Amino acid sequence: MEKFLKEDNFPDKLVQLALVHAQFEILHPFEDGNGRTGRILLPMFLYWKKLLSKPTFYLSEFFEENRAEYYDRLLYITEKDDWQGWVEFFLRAVIEQSKRNISKANKLIDLYNTSKQKFIEATQSQYAIPALDAFFKKPIIDTATFISLTHMPKRSSASDVLDKLINSKLIKLYKPSKGKRAAVYIFCELLNTVEDKKIC
């Protein structure tokens, strides 16, 4: 398997990945965590083979939604030598998840563009766009990290911007400050878009 994983002349990298993933799951090398390890190998392989600019493509969602077929297809490899059925299932997973990811990326771009004007109007601050960028980097963020990402010179400036965003219902206070612990804020609309469901 390791030799096949390193093979650079295989004609189709996605088919190669399908075979690698199946081999790993069938070998089941660890007592626990084989599923998680096998799934994390997917984006790492794509990144290593330069098919992704970052290792951020996950098939877990599709596999979870089609769990019965996922396990059946792996089982049919050992029981029926049905590699063709497994590869077709795996490639369907890649296609469907890619479509979802593209749709989600477009929604995030739209959210960013529509939020720009809202953040500017709400804060009336030169730091409106840096504030938005900070929340896009960390949709759940504490005050110290917010200040660091926006490069605001004063904590009072950051507090003023955050208060205005809360009052405009663009963000929420997730956890108030307590003692030395900084307040934590959440950009719900971004998280809801990422998760594709209302979580806050």
Most confident residue range from 57-61, 156-160, 187-191: 187-191
3-state secondary structure string across 83-152: HHHHHHHHHHHHHHHHHHHHHHHHHHHHHHHHHHHHHHHHHCCCCHHHHHHHHHHCCEEEHHHHHHHHCC
Averaged confidence pLDDT in the chain: 95
pTM: 0.80
What pLDDT was estimated at residue 151?
Answer: 95
Residue 35 in this model has a pLDDT that exceeds 90: no
Residue 6 pLDDT level (bands cut at 50, 70, 90): confident
Residue 94 in this model has a pLDDT that exceeds 90: yes
Q: What is the mean pLDDT of residues 61-84?
A: 97
Q: What is the pLDDT of residues 107-147, one digit of tens each?
A: 999 999 999 999 999 999 999 999 999 999 999 999 999 99
Residue 3 pLDDT level (bands cut at 50, 70, 90): confident
**By CB neighbour count within 10 A (0-12 exposed, 13-18 middle, 19+ buried), where does 64 fall?**
exposed
What pLDDT was estimated at residue 69?
Answer: 98
Q: What is the pLDDT of residues 145-179, one digit of tens each?
A: 999 999 998 888 999 999 999 999 999 999 999 98
What pLDDT was estimated at residue 74?
Answer: 97
Residues 73 and 152: beta-carbon distance below 8 Å: no
Query: Hey, what domains does the chain have and what are their CATH numbers?
Result: 2-102 (1.10.3290.10), 124-195 (1.10.10.10)
| Whole-angstrom distance, CA of residue 171 vs CA of residue 164 | 9
Residues 85 and 76: beta-carbon distance below 8 Å: yes
| Whole-angstrom distance, CA of residue 47 vs CA of residue 29 | 23
What pLDDT was estimated at residue 98?
Answer: 96
Name beta bridge partners: 142: 184
What pLDDT was estimated at residue 46?
Answer: 95
What pLDDT was estimated at residue 171?
Answer: 98
